Structure 1
């Protein structure tokens, strides 16, 4: 497929999605499916191939995040209903002050985001952000936007995230140097793209109604006995602790049993189920909740997640259609043919793959494999900076074929235009700021 044809098809598909949803208010699930099928047919594929492509992409997206959203919502509901989220939110507000909510959530996102995938961190910390915003009487975006910004930055530039570790291996970069450089870039970027940008967005985006997902966590009865802060914090952090311990155990030398236990704990869904059971025993039962009440609560809270999960799958299906139609390959080949500095080429390659596939992880791995063979001919280029430039490009745009786009839209109850500002704007700003710092470092290293 020629570059012109690829650009035309890609822009037409994305433009059609925006017009049908924003202008004609059609159901996003139907629109994503219809446009994905039309894109594949336009590229010369049969209807059977088009549907199979969509199903494959949707299956991959749902397989990786569907149960995570369900289990994470159940876990968050118990944390909220038991009073643990209120206890921790009030403690945070007492120490930081309501006016500093955005800074507190940015710091929480950075700490949690270091060892944890973006999807996991967002699903598990969203209830805390909703309740913290309610308790501090601040707009919900002042809590959510700094949180997602910090989580996204950590995913883009910090080991041990798989995409960055993959790029470090492909470029033969130094792990310790990338950790140091990543921290140098992460802190100022999180400040600029989280709390500072959140204040700008809140002033200009307009009012946001309470979404069904937000209402699910905010609608709660005051527990007869509020759990102590230590136990509340332990339960909230338990999934992260289990996943982190599992990753460490799986990487340490030892017997087969230790490795298998580490792999089990490091698997997100297993850690969530264990955390769910621990929360029942440590928080819900001491608060006087019966087994019937807990079971009914877990059943009822899944209602609002159904459409969110399907929409995430549809986003993955559309992304796969972009790949299988040939649009992704044509755009990536065009980036490689451009004559520019290696850092900008790594950034642009990753950004184009991100735009074409919607996946930051795929963008990092693909761009690194494309650029790596030319490293021997690029004298004086730091492989550590190539890792950072690739990571920066991998999160650019926050496009509509990124399942998180639709997940965030439904979690916050945003319009399509608001989602472009909150998610796409934040992601693009992060990528540009990280690239700018990377280029600045290249001038002094």
Structure 2
């Protein structure tokens, strides 16, 4: 077991690699020699890292330029340098972009209607002070399903401060638990952009990845959240807060709408896409796709359909049912797209970079290297994501790059192990948030910590979460 976990033996996944490489040889014939392709990959990734880290360039532009550099260095003609990139960008935005947009609508409706506040208030009202860290982890886990990470942080941190003040607890004890829940969902569970993009690039099944992602996320959140938070509270003792970024803590949650959806309705809408996609996965695993009811569940569990249904239900439950007019709902939907414009561009450019890796044959060369090294593909995917994450500070860029590199390996894997590879990449993408990550500074300012204290709490939590998730993925890989 230990040998397999460490990657020193081929393991069950590595046995597929020769077949995978043969199967993908026709799809991405190398345009240059192996040394040139390796150099092209290193150069392309180095350009992206340098532009993001040192030139402070937006990741979208960095990915566009890096893709062009990689293609030219790999022997592609100047005129055709961006052909693979534009192809990948179009297919990625067409496949994943719509899902991200629907998720943004659901998240906007959840927040603006007061549904998120209802979930938070209900859970916290029934929780004693000593169990607040567990309650906050649960709240973040549930509320974080339809929300992007940054939105979840902005939504929950004021709540964390209020809870810490009322219960006279350290904000580290309560806040790290909540952040662990958000971060785990962000890296491991669709419909978040990172997992969705990795699923698209690696050809994994959404429902299966969702189910396995939840299995990995639960113990990961427990260990990296409430359990670790107790230790971190002793390392970084902070007094209960009196304000949030200069504003009184009690007013940080903002004004409440005249009517709010009930707790049951709010939770149902949040969990609806999860339920539909998991039902589809169960039908497929049980081999009931050909039956009448199986076909219906397979259709309803299609990610686009599941999120579209949830959006329509949310428009009623979080809109019409709480007294909003049709024009108000239309305005809310429109306003939900602006914050995700940058995410869509980065995701699309990442898909273009991935397609460039595949089209030039770089992916096959790297896959051959992993095969020759007898490195467990799950561990390899995690390591690649870790390196890009630490270098760029972006979980999304790390996921995009690692998924593109690992795509040839994933092509011949069975559905379960392809899903596990998605999770391994996602786990690596959240490793060691530090000074080049916007999330690092966001947490530092909200908590009023020094840079050193932020490293000892937030950065350590992210690293622990990444490692625990990897171990869980590797263990699942041994038994499924």
TM-score range, shorter chain: 0.5 to 0.7
Equivalent residues in 2 for 1:178-257 (5 A)? Answer: 188-194=219-225, 221-247=255-281, 253=288
2:299 counterpart of 1:264: yes
How many pairs were matched up? 382
> Residues 31-56 of structure 1: CA distance to partner in whole angstroms, max 9, x if unpaired?
21011111100100023432111112
Q: Secondary structure of the residue that 1:50 maps to in structure 2?
A: coil
Out of 92, 103, 119, the residue aligned to residue 61 of structure 1 is 92
1:10 equivalent among 19, 36, 41: 41
More helix per residue: 1 or 2? 1
Determine if contact 1:388/1:434 at 8 Å carries over to the other structure: no
Give, in whole Å, the separation in 2 of the partners of 1:131 and 1:100: 21
Shift of 1:429: 2.4
Match in the other structure for 1:42: 73
In structure 2, how many angstroms separate the alpha carbons of the residues matched to 1:34 and 1:424?
30
Per-residue CA distance 1:206-237 (angstroms, 9 max, x = gap): xxx99xxxxxxx99752112332222222322
Q: Which runs of 5+ in 2 are unaligned?
A: 1-31, 162-170, 191-197, 237-243, 246-251, 389-397, 432-436, 445-450
Equivalent residue of 2:260, what SS?
coil
Compared CA separation, residues 143 and 15, structure 1 to 2 (3 A): farther
Q: How far is the alpha carbon of 1:88 from its aligned partner? A: 0.2
Residue 291 (structure 1) shift = 1.3
Across the aligned residues of Structure 1 and Structure 2, the Cα RMSD in angstroms comes to 5.1
SS in 2 for 1:286: helix
Residue in structure 2 matched with residue 135 of structure 1 by the alignment: 159
Q: Confirm or deny that 1:149 pairs with 2:173.
A: no
Distance between the aligned counterparts of 1:275 and 1:144, measured in 2?
25
Distance 2:275 2:294 in 1: 17
Secondary structure, counterpart of 2:75 in structure 1: coil
The DSSP-based 3-state class of the residue aligned with 1:240 is: helix
- Equivalent positions of 1:19-38 (< 5 A) are 19-38=50-69
Gaps of 5+ in 1: 113-119, 156-160, 169-174, 211-217, 373-383, 401-407
Deviation string for 1:284-314 (max 9, x for gaps)?
2232211111111211222222122111111
When residues 240 and 148 of structure 1 are mapped into structure 2, their CA distance, relative to the original with a 3 A threshold, is: same
Inter-partner Cα distance in structure 2 for 1:274 and 1:411: 35
1:300 matched residue in structure 2? 335
- CA separation of 1:102 and 1:273: change in aligned 2, threshold 3 A: farther
Aligned mate of 1:429, from 441, 451, 467:
467
1:290 aligns with 2:325: yes
Q: Is the 8 A contact 1:150 1:190 kept in 2?
A: no
